[in-house]
Amino acid sequence: MELQEAKDKFIHTWGTLATQWGINRTMSQIHALLLLAPEALNADQIMAELQISRGNVNMNLRDLMSWGLIFKQLLPGERKEYFVAEKDIWKVARQIAKERRRREIEPIKGTMEEIQNELVPDTEEKKEVLKIIQEISQVTNFADSTVDSLLKSKESWLISSFLKLFNH
Amino acid sequence: MELQEAKDKFIHTWGTLATQWGINRTMSQIHALLLLAPEALNADQIMAELQISRGNVNMNLRDLMSWGLIFKQLLPGERKEYFVAEKDIWKVARQIAKERRRREIEPIKGTMEEIQNELVPDTEEKKEVLKIIQEISQVTNFADSTVDSLLKSKESWLISSFLKLFNH
DNA sequence: TTGAATTTTCAAAATATTCTGAAAGTATTT
DNA sequence: AAATACTTTCAGAATATTTTGAAAATTCAA
């Protein structure tokens, strides 16, 4: 397999996967492209590489920055803005988990709590409904706090590795 | 809050969340409706409740069955088919995780392995690309096996309480 | 300043996804 | 075997999402 073929295959697979997860295809393709790029790229290069419009590139670059997955890089003597991806994949995973939790898990927790606080269990059916909702809350909280713990332990693992560097 | 209002709010929130996760809105609304229903429902009842067409109901009921989230129930003396949701929420979570892994994680693993097997690291850039791809494989495998082991039993609830202890 | 280079915005177009409903298919009863 | 009850299919319609590209805004050098 040649380099370009491998890159294309990766970018394509990444984009397809993203679609299934409710993430815009172009956004993930740009992300994949930057992950594999040996140096920072500018908008024109991304346009050319993925054959997409300037507006589309701009929009998705901003989205990726808001997810904390890529960063602007200003090269000396260049007016164009360049972009690099965070290449530490653990950080990437952590960042994605953090963002999705903020954007998706937290709102559903809110609704569940609202119903639990305001629905009075004065009939059998209301009790049943509350039971289901409570169980969903439990699973959600469990998933949430598990992800949280794992991310925190990875973080502290990274920090401790980092600190060790200075103890040598 | 009244029962119907609570149900509607839950069904609506569930549908919205699903959209963000790349799952069809109607499918999750039917799932939510059946989760809260005290007894099995038939196609006509679902059509009336959610104001959607027969074709749509039929299609999504079959999808939900293929996910293992609902089951057909034949009531004696009834010609219509009735449907009930799996109400053990831990089973539901496990089932969803299992299906998503089968449909989404496994294909990406395949592509990653293919590239790793066939891209010869004879240049610096190829080595870099392979490094990224290997790291993604690692994270994917980690996430995959973590979810797997966590969902395998209700006892995992204990583990999470346990983990929390160490993060305080 | 001015103007060229670059980025951002956003209405309209293109594309993708979901939904409808009537027709075809299947099963059951009479 | 015909009528009835119900389920499934799928082409076209409706809806939602994404993309384009040209105009407006911004930035920066001269």
Tokens coding B117? 């097997």
pLDDT score at A160: 58
Q: Domains of chain B: which residue ranges?
A: 3-85, 89-166
| Selected residues 120-149 of chain B with any CB under 8 Å from a CB in chain A | 120, 123, 125-126, 128-129, 132-133, 135-136, 138-139, 143, 146
* Residues A58 and A66 sit within 8 Å (Cβ to Cβ): no
Measure the CA dihedral A145/A20/B69/B57, to 10°.
140
Q: Select the residue of A7, A123, A135 nearest B129 (Cβ to Cβ).
A: A7
* Interchain CB contact of B118 with A (< 8 Å): yes
- Quick: pLDDT tens for B42-83: 999 999 999 999 999 999 999 999 999 999 999 988 999 999
Q: Which residues of B touch A146 (CB under 8 A)?
A: 150, 160, 163
3-class DSSP state of A42: strand
Residues 6+ apart with CB under 8 A from B50: B11, B26, B29, B30, B33, B57
Per-residue CA distances from A54 to A29, A46, A51, B122 (Å): 15, 9, 10, 35
Distance CA B10, CA B106 (A): 32
Residues 6+ apart with CB under 8 A from A6: B115, B118, B119, B126, B129
Length, in residues, of chain B:
168
- Per-residue b or e along A17-26, where b marks 16 or more CB atoms closer than 10 Å to that residue's CB: bbeeeebeeb
Nucleotide closest to B55 measured between CA and C1': C20
* Helix ranges restricted to H, B71-155: 89-100, 106-118, 124-151
Contact B139 A1 (CB under 8 A): no
3-class DSSP state of B119: coil
CA A148 to chain centre: 14
More confident residue, A102 or B37: B37
Which residues pair with residue B82 across a beta bridge? B42, B73
Q: What percent of chain B has pLDDT over 70?
A: 90
Q: Mean pLDDT of all residues in chain A?
A: 89
Q: How confident is residue B142, by pLDDT bands cut at 50, 70 and 90?
A: confident
pLDDT score at A168: 45
Nucleotide closest to B53 measured between CA and C1': C20
3-class DSSP state of A40: coil
Distance CA B69, CA B95 (A): 7
Q: How confident is residue B106, by pLDDT bands cut at 50, 70 and 90?
A: confident
Examine the pLDDT at A102 and tell me if it is beyond 50.
Answer: yes
> Protein B30 CA to nucleic acid D1 C1', in Å?
39
More confident residue, B67 or A148: B67
Contact B138 A6 (CB under 8 A): no
Contact B104 A20 (CB under 8 A): yes
Q: How confident is residue A146, by pLDDT bands cut at 50, 70 and 90?
A: confident
Residue A104 C-alpha, separation from nearest chain B C-alpha, in angstroms: 7
What is the rounded average pLDDT of the residues A71-85?
95
* Interchain CB contact of B38 with A (< 8 Å): yes
> Protein A10 CA to nucleic acid D21 C1', in Å?
29
pLDDT score at B158: 53
What is the rounded average pLDDT of the residues A42-70?
98
Q: How confident is residue A154, by pLDDT bands cut at 50, 70 and 90?
A: low
* Residues B25 and B16 sit within 8 Å (Cβ to Cβ): yes
Residue A50 C-alpha, separation from nearest chain B C-alpha, in angstroms: 18
Tokens coding A151? 């991310």
What is the rounded average pLDDT of the residues A47-62?
98
Q: Mean pLDDT of all residues in chain B?
A: 88
Q: How confident is residue B113, by pLDDT bands cut at 50, 70 and 90?
A: very high
Of the ranges A109-123, B61-75, B102-116, which one carries the lowest mean pLDDT score? B102-116
Of the ranges A1-5, A7-11, A142-146, B126-130, which one carries the lowest mean pLDDT score? A142-146
Handedness of CA A136, A139, A143, A144 (dihedral sign): positive
pLDDT score at B100: 86
**Candidates 3.40.30.10, 1.10.579.10, 1.20.1050.10, 1.10.10.10; CATH matching A3-85:** 1.10.10.10
What is the rounded average pLDDT of the residues A16-32?
92
Residue nearest C10, CA–C1′ metric: A55
